[in-house]
Structure 1
Amino acid sequence: MAINLKKGERIDLTKSNPGLKQAIIGLGWDTNKYAGGADFDLDASVFMVGSDGNVKNDEDFIFYNNLEHPTKSVIHTGDNRTGEGEGDDEAIIIDFGKVPSHIDKIAITVTIHDAVNRAQNFGQVTNAFVRVLNKENDNEILRYDLTEDFSIETALIFCELYRHNNEWKFSAVGSGFQGGLESLCKNYGLQV
């Protein structure tokens, strides 16, 4: 049975699940009905971060225009431009054994594409969640439902997976930013 986490909680992934070699990070959301005239296009991105808290190079930033790390340790399965339907809207596959040794943390983020021009923010998004599944058997290990009200934010750090004593752990972050993907890139040391 999956563990439900709240903002700020952390849990061990690989020590408690010794057979976990690859994980699927599934992200989902719905949008409130509003008369804005434009669809919501939420985008998942991954920042593979070193011990200094920054991304070392562009290949360690996985998003809709760079779907896979050269090591195949992190693979984005593709951009869902509407979020329609049930279940995961976007997914990230992580192969823990292939993550380069200089990576200490994998931050999973979501942004609203063209949010400023479309007058959109996360206050108009509901039922947002992230879940971790064992890729080998599709068993859900944990789930984090985002319950905060982000009335002006256009970017979120949803969760982080991080290395501790050669094991991987999960942290339910739920931290909002204004400025979309650009502000997240700057937060992780990337020049935009």
Structure 2
Amino acid sequence: MSISLEKGQRISLEKNGSGLDRVCVGVNWGAIEKKGFFGTKKVAVDLDASIGLYTESKDLADIVYFGQLKSKDGSVVHSGDDRTGDLDGDDGLDNEIVSVELGKVPANVKSIAIVLNSYQGHDFASIPFASVRLYEGTPSRVDNIIANYNIAHEAKFNGSVSMVLGVLYRHGTAWKFRAVGEPTDDKKLESLFQSVAANFL
């Protein structure tokens, strides 16, 4: 059973009293429809799901994004860059998936931030649908959806091209997930990761 995340909500990543070994973050979005004299035209949207791994002092230890699809330690793996979104409507499948093997994350990493940005600067408000889900499983198999988060059709995203989806963080020996769901003013990924450290960890 999955739940819809609300800002600030925290979820313990445990199953039957023990911590989950692997979680995946899947992002699904659609192409923009523009109406013209000759009918409707589909405009490809290049959203990028990225991961920042931070130390306890909020320093960026590593990143995983379209230009580096695997963390240096191998604990975080990105499925690859999707540059179009769903051109033919929502197919229900994730366009980009990031897999995190929590047991392999280096001990110096205390927080893992999940961010989303529009590479070509498309305003989030113009995208017909966009959602993120956190689930137990693999990139090719969904065992259990832990949480869904819908970022489409929310006024607070109007004018924004970057947002922080949420943060995985260590709580003692266990991992938890905190929903953020906040837009930022950042235009580039580098400044987005700086904003995460300053405001969301």
TM-score (norm 2): 0.81
Please tell me whether the aligned partners of residues 136 and 145 of structure 2 are also in contact (alpha carbons under 8 angstroms): yes
The Cα shift of 1:46 comes to 0.4
Aligned Cα RMSD in Å? Answer: 2.2
Give distance in 2, aligned partners of 1:29 and 1:126.
Answer: 8
Q: 2:53 aligns with which of 48, 53, 63?
A: 48
The Cα shift of 1:38 comes to 4.8
Gapped regions of structure 2 (runs ≥ 5): 36-40
Name 1:111's counterpart in structure 2.
117
Name 2:72's counterpart in structure 1.
70
The Cα shift of 1:170 comes to 0.9
Name 1:141's counterpart in structure 2.
146
Residues 133-179 of structure 1, C-alpha deviations (whole Å, 9 max, x = no match): 21166221221222532111111111111111111111110111222
Name 2:38's counterpart in structure 1.
none
Q: Percent identity?
A: 34
The Cα shift of 1:96 comes to 0.6
Q: 1:79 aligns with which of 43, 63, 81?
A: 81
Name 2:162's counterpart in structure 1.
155
Residues 85-127 of structure 1, C-alpha deviations (whole Å, 9 max, x = no match): 4321110101011001111111111111121xxxx21111243
In the alignment, does 2:174 pair up with 1:167? yes
What is the number of equivalent residue pairs in this alignment? 182
Of the structure 1 ranges 27-36 and 81-90, higher mean CA displacement relative to structure 2 is found in 27-36
Give distance in 2, aligned partners of 1:165 and 1:175.
Answer: 26
Q: Which has the larger radius of gyration?
A: 2
State the secondary structure of the residue aligned to 1:101.
Answer: coil
Q: Structure 1 residues 144 and 46 mapped into 2: Cα distance closer, same or farther (>3 Å)?
A: same
Name 1:185's counterpart in structure 2.
193
Give distance in 1, aligned partners of 2:158 and 2:43.
Answer: 18
Between structures 1 and 2, the one with greater strand share? 2
Residues 43-96 of structure 1, C-alpha deviations (whole Å, 9 max, x = no match): 11100011122303xxx1100010001221110111111111432111010101
State the secondary structure of the residue aligned to 1:86.
Answer: coil
In the alignment, does 2:47 pair up with 1:39? no
